[in-house]
Amino acid sequence: MIWWVWLAIGFILLGAEMFMLDAAFYLVFLGVAALITGFTVMSGIPMPEWVQWVMFALLSATTMVLFRERLYKKLRGDPIGFDDQVDGRHVTVLEGVVVGGRTRVEFRGSRWDAVNAGESSLENGEQAIIVKAEGSLLEIRAIAPSGA
């Protein structure tokens, strides 16, 4: 392929990632690989088209595997203040539930399905503690009274 086609593809991919799409940096590495391939072809090194495509593919895959996650985290970071740990957090029971029964609870501003894994029933509006989370299902139990 002609060198300027590789450069055009590279700039289009970079521009798409930066200004139009949020592809989690995948297009950045495809664009960089296209630019490197284009500059290599432009330098006059004789290369059949299939070698250019292999070079592009290897550069894309290698840079993505080695650098994408680190660069993405460095530039975007983790969400500020996000805590994905739920064990030990308090929830409000929305519907009374017996031991082993299912109910709905309010946690972090939304409603979740929960199973009463404790040794006593829970009443509507009562506070409970999360024992374990499996997917979107929470296992809860009554909060032990102070001094017990």
What is the DSSP track for 2-55? -HHHHHHHHHHHHHIIIII---TTHHHHHHHHHHHHHHHHHTT----HHHHHHH
pLDDT digits (tens, 9 = 90+) for 108-128: 788 889 999 888 889 888 889
Q: Residues 32-37: what's their mean pLDDT?
A: 96
pLDDT at 83 over 60: no
Q: Which range is least confidently modeled, 64-68, 89-93, 106-110? A: 106-110
pLDDT at 144 over 80: no
CATH code (residue 97): 2.40.50.140
Q: Residues 50-75: what's their mean pLDDT?
A: 91
> Structurally, how many domains does the chain consist of?
2
User: Is 127 within 8 Å of 92 (Cβ atoms)?
Assistant: yes
Are 55 and 24 part of one and the same domain? yes
Domain end position, chosen among 76, 108, 129: 76
- Domain of residue 114: give its range: 90-142
Q: Write out the two tokens for 97.
A: 């539930």
DSSP single-letter state for residue 68: I
Are 65 and 109 part of one and the same domain? no
Mean pLDDT, the chain, integer: 87
